């Protein structure tokens, strides 16, 4: 019952936040810029063109009315048209959102896969060099500018070693000569659905470097959280008992201690997903990844406010929903959360 | 010196030294830069894109300017950026948090739900939207980041006030008939100010990372003024063949952010405060 009330309350609060977010985006995208009509009218507009644009954009209506129009449009998934390309933004989003989500999901998985085992090792060797190197690595991961790490990875793995592709989502041999049919928009899944193992491997190879860039910071956090949870658990009785029974060290660490230290994993999933959505703006430019981040960065240069507003809305809603799901999952795993 | 090492540990002390060194470099840039004119932006086309050498320790950029001099001048912009972002954020966040915590009730509810809205955004994205709306430039980019940053201080200040509000000395002041604004300014602010300022000083590192990201996207200062993020972006066209152009400012950002992060860790270890995620 408490649980149900908690879930309900969190959902209502999230809905409220989404309304607030919509309002804020409206203010920043439609009220702050000096003259949206001039931007909408195109390069070097005449006075009449600007006037026409003002009417089309409904800029002369009072602010509350404009917000109402904006909010209803957003709610119905109508993001308007891009100032620059004059294309429907909703259509562009459908193409770019899966690419960004693919990157976010993959980098989150990578962060857990790297961070958790390192945290276990650091806890098992507490105070000794694996622990120290790991701790320093996790601090360094926070301080490393995302865009610079991306460039270093490109330099080492694509340029020097030549083992991974430099940029893009698929090789030209596949994207042009034998394109994948788009079903889900997730290349790896689409490749499997089409039974194309070559395309699957190619999509995977393209994902590694951008995902690794985005995974570095959350992996550092995952390592720290796992380490401190493990240190506490390694002193508990059942672990001592397992030791006394003569079980092997890996079996104690991964079989008996780690499952009890998985609480932080949920936190890291949320954090990592959020970081990937944010970092996508920087990483997608460098890796020429055709997702929301690159879309919005092109819109910035063109002052294409409807596109910037739409992307901000969509990504923020993904972010709010993700946080809600994590909170609910945490309450389900540990009912004490709902009571606090 | 010995006391300092005892308090911060060796990593913390070295980190503090790095921060102080960069602050000094920022102040002294015109006197210590090997080529002050180039640092300020004057082109030197005779020496385009030269690798690091005895004459140009860190190489030159696409206009032949000495990268070391450019970085030294950029340090002024980037450090000021970090400091001002945090200062502006305190300026908004502190009053909001003080009011919410002190008055409680519907004022608290309204202010904190408003704060939640700002926190609901992925920070960099809101900053990008804001910076795009305001247009590029030094002050605008600072405002853009501060808009995403202040809610943290509002929350921190509120939490501090909630503890202080129940203190006997505050109640005594109330009973003595001291007005609310005076209690807040004279009795609560000084006590919340200190822990918050320490936190804020450490946040300069993450703040300048965000500012660097913004200016990497072309939303920071305008050329010929340089900051670190903008230099990395400018060098990207010549990367990896002329790796030093991006790598030198990139390493600088990393070094300074790392110093702040290590310093923060050293202080946190001492006080056992909570860590905080930053984007």
The answer on pLDDT for B124 being more than 90 is no
Cβ–Cβ of B240/A142 closer than 8 Å? no
B114 CA to chain A: closest CA distance, Å? 8
* Interface contacts (A, B; CB < 8 Å): 147
Cis peptide before A88 (omega within 30 of 0): no
Burial A249-281, CB ≥16 within 10 A → b, else e: eeebbeebbbeebeebbbbbbbbbbbbbbbbbb
Q: Specify the pLDDT at position A340.
A: 62
Handedness of CA A130, A131, A135, A141 (dihedral sign): positive
The answer on pLDDT for B180 being more than 60 is yes
Cβ–Cβ of A143/B236 closer than 8 Å? no
Helix (H) / strand (E) element for A278: namely helix A263-286
Burial of B149: CB neighbours in 10 Å, binned 0-12, 13-18, 19+:
buried
Nearest C-alpha in B relative to A222? B277
Nearest C-alpha in A relative to B214? A282
Cβ–Cβ of A151/B250 closer than 8 Å? yes
Nearest-5° Cα angle at B24, B23 to B27: 90
Q: Collapse the DSSP code of B60 into the 3-class scheme (helix H, G, I; strand E, B; otherwise coil) and give the result.
A: strand
Q: How many CB atoms lie within 10 A of CB A58?
A: 12
A:18-47 residues touching chain B, CB 8 A cutoff: 18, 20-21, 23-25, 28-29, 32-33
Q: How far is B276 from A322, CA to CA, in rounded Å?
A: 19
Hey, where are the domains in chain A? 97-291
Q: Specify the pLDDT at position B19.
A: 93
Q: Specify the pLDDT at position B270.
A: 60
Largest separation between any pair of C-alpha atoms in chain A: 87
Instruction: Name the residue among A143, A224, A300 with its Cβ closest to that of B128.
Output: A300
Q: Is the Cβ of A319 closer than 8 Å to some Cβ of chain B?
A: yes
Q: Specify the pLDDT at position A34.
A: 63
Cβ–Cβ of A13/B116 closer than 8 Å? yes
Q: How far is A295 from A306, CA to CA, in rounded Å?
A: 12
Give the CA dihedral B3, B4, B8, B11, nearest 10 degrees.
-120
Helices and strands in chain B, H and E counts: 11, 0
Average pLDDT for chain B:
87
All residues at 6 or more sequence positions from B84 whose CB lies less than 8 Å from its CB, including other chains: B142, B146
Cβ–Cβ of B277/A221 closer than 8 Å? yes
Cβ–Cβ of A145/B254 closer than 8 Å? yes
pLDDT per position as a tens digit, B150-167 = 999 999 999 889 888 888
Tokens representing residue A322 in the block: 């993700």
Q: Specify the pLDDT at position B80.
A: 92
B89 CA to chain A: closest CA distance, Å? 18
Residues of B in contact with A24 (CB under 8 A): 117-118, 121, 126
Of residues B178 and B269, which shows the higher confidence score? B178
Instruction: Name the residue among B120, B132, B213 with its Cβ closest to that of A17.
Output: B120
Residues of A in contact with B257 (CB under 8 A): 142-145
Backbone φ and ψ for A271, nearest 5 degrees, come out as: -60, -45
Q: Collapse the DSSP code of A196 into the 3-class scheme (helix H, G, I; strand E, B; otherwise coil) and give the result.
A: coil
Nearest-5° Cα angle at B115, B111 to B118: 150
Nearest C-alpha in A relative to B219? A300
A:278-297 residues touching chain B, CB 8 A cutoff: 278-279, 281-282, 285-286, 296-297
Domain at A97-291, CATH class: mainly alpha
Residues of B in contact with A301 (CB under 8 A): 218
Closest C-alpha to A274, from A324, A230, A240: A324
Q: Specify the pLDDT at position B90.
A: 92
Give residue B223's pLDDT band: very low, low, confident or very high (50, 70, 90). confident
Give residue B279's pLDDT band: very low, low, confident or very high (50, 70, 90). very low
Nearest C-alpha in A relative to B275? A221
Cβ–Cβ of B253/A145 closer than 8 Å? yes
| Interface mutation target, options B120, B204, B228, chain A, most CBs of A under 10 Å | B120
The answer on pLDDT for B276 being more than 60 is no
Q: How far is A250 from A264, CA to CA, in rounded Å?
A: 20
Q: How far is B116 from B151, CA to CA, in rounded Å?
A: 8
Q: Specify the pLDDT at position B274.
A: 39
Q: Collapse the DSSP code of A81 into the 3-class scheme (helix H, G, I; strand E, B; otherwise coil) and give the result.
A: strand
Cβ–Cβ of B246/A300 closer than 8 Å? no
A196 CA to chain B: closest CA distance, Å? 33
Cβ–Cβ of A24/B217 closer than 8 Å? no
B223 CA to chain A: closest CA distance, Å? 16
Q: Is the Cβ of A275 closer than 8 Å to some Cβ of chain B?
A: yes
A303 CA to chain B: closest CA distance, Å? 7
Q: Mean pLDDT for each consecutive 10-residue tract of chain A (340 residues)?
A: 86 91 87 71 76 76 84 85 85 90 92 89 84 84 89 90 86 74 79 81 90 91 86 83 83 80 77 85 90 89 85 89 86 73
Q: Which of A306-310, B57-61, B200-204, B209-213 has the lowest mean pLDDT?
A: B200-204
Nearest C-alpha in B relative to A23? B117
Nearest C-alpha in A relative to B251? A148
Cβ–Cβ of B129/A147 closer than 8 Å? no
Q: Is the Cβ of A65 closer than 8 Å to some Cβ of chain B?
A: no
Please give the C-alpha separations between residue A60 and each of A26, A31, A36, A46, A64, in angstroms, as whole numbers: 15, 12, 12, 18, 12
User: How would you classify residue A224: left for phi > 0, otherwise alpha for psi between -120 and 50, otherwise beta?
Assistant: alpha
The answer on pLDDT for B87 being more than 90 is yes
Residues of A in contact with B133 (CB under 8 A): 28-29, 32-33, 305
Expressed in angstroms, the distance from the first to the final Cα of chain B is 34
A183 CA to chain B: closest CA distance, Å? 28
Query: How are the residues of chain B apportioned to helix, strand and coil, as percentages rounded to the nearest 5?
Result: 75, 0, 20
Of residues A226 and B265, which shows the higher confidence score? A226
Residue A219 CA neighbour count, 13 Å, CB half: 22
Q: How far is B264 from A104, CA to CA, in rounded Å?
A: 29
Instruction: Name the residue among A143, A281, A285 with its Cβ closest to that of B125.
Output: A281
Cβ–Cβ of B120/A20 closer than 8 Å? yes
Tokens representing residue A164 in the block: 């991974």
Closest C-alpha to A113, from A215, A186, A214, A210: A215
Q: Which of A9-13, B120-124, B259-263, B266-270 has the lowest mean pLDDT?
A: B266-270
Query: How are the residues of chain A apportioned to helix, strand and coil, as percentages rounded to the nearest 5?
Result: 75, 0, 20
Q: How far is B187 from B164, CA to CA, in rounded Å?
A: 9
Closest C-alpha to B161, from B115, B113, B93: B93
């Amino acid at each position: 019952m408490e649980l149900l009330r908690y879930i309900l309350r969190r959902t209502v609060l999230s809905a409220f936040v989404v309304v607030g977010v919509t309002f804020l985006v409206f203010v920043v995208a439609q009220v702050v810029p000096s003259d949206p009509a001039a931007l909408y009218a195109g390069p070097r507009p005449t006075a009449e063109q600007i006037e026409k644009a003002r009417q089309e954009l409904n800029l002369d209506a009072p602010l509350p009315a404009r917000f109402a129009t904006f909010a209803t449009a957003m709610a119905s998934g109508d993001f308007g048209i891009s100032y620059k390309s004059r294309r429907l933004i909703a259509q562009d989003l459908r193409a770019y959102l899966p690419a960004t989500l693919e990157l976010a999901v993959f980098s989150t998985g990578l962060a857990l896969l790297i961070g958790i085992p390192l945290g276990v090792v650091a806890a098992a060797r507490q105070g000794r060099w694996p622990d120290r190197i790991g701790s320093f690595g996790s601090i360094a991961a926070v301080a490393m500018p995302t865009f610079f790490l991306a460039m270093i990875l490109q330099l080492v793995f694509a340029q020097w070693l030549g083992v991974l592709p430099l940029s893009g989502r698929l090789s030209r041999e596949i994207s042009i000569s034998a394109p994948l049919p788009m079903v889900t928009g997730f290349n790896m899944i689409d490749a499997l659905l089409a039974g194309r193992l070559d395309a699957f491997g190619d999509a995977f190879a393209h994902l590694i470097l951008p995902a690794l860039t985005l995974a570095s910071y959350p992996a550092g956090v995952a390592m720290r959280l796992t380490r401190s949870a493990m240190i506490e658990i390694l002193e508990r009785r059942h672990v001592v008992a397992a030791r006394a029974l003569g079980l092997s060290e890996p079996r104690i660490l991964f079989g008996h201690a780690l499952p009890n230290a998985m609480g932080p994993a949920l936190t890291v999933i949320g954090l990592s997903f959020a970081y990937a959505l944010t970092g996508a703006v920087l990483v997608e430019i460098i890796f020429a990844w055709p997702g929301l981040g690159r879309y919005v960065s092109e819109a910035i240069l063109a002052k294409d406010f409807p596109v910037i507003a739409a992307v901000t809305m969509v990504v923020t809603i993904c972010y709010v929903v993700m946080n809600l799901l994590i909170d609910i999952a945490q309450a389900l795993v540990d009912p004490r959360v709902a009571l606090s | 010196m010995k006391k300092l090492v005892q308090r911060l540990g060796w990593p913390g002390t070295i980190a503090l030294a790095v921060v102080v060194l960069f602050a000094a470099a920022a102040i002294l840039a015109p006197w210590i830069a090997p080529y002050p004119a180039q640092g300020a932006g004057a082109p030197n086309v005779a020496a385009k894109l030269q690798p690091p050498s005895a004459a140009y320790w860190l190489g030159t950029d696409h206009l032949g300017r000495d990268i070391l001099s450019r970085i030294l001048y950029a340090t002024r912009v980037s450090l000021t950026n970090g400091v001002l972002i945090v200062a502006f954020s305190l300026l908004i966040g502190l009053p909001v948090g003080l009011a919410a915590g002190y008055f409680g009730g519907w004022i608290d509810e309204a202010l904190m739900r408003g704060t939640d809205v700002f926190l609901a955004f992925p920070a960099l994205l809101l900053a990008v939207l804001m910076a795009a709306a305001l247009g590029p430039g030094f002050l605008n980019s600072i405002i853009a980041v501060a808009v995403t940053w202040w809610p943290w201080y509002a929350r921190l200040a509120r939490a501090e006030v909630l503890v202080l509000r129940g203190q006997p000395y505050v109640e005594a002041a109330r009973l003595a008939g001291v007005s609310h604004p005076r209690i807040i300014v004279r009795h609560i602010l000084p006590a919340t100010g200190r822990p918050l300022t320490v936190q804020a000083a450490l946040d300069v590192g993450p703040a300048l990372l965000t500012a660097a990201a913004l200016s990497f996207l072309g939303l920071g200062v305008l050329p010929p003024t340089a900051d670190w993020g903008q230099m990395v972006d400018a060098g990207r066209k010549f990367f990896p063949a002329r790796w030093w152009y991006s790598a030198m400012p990139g390493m600088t950002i990393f070094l300074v952010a790392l110093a702040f992060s290590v310093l923060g860790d050293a202080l946190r270890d001492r006080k056992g405060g909570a860590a905080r995620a930053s984007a």
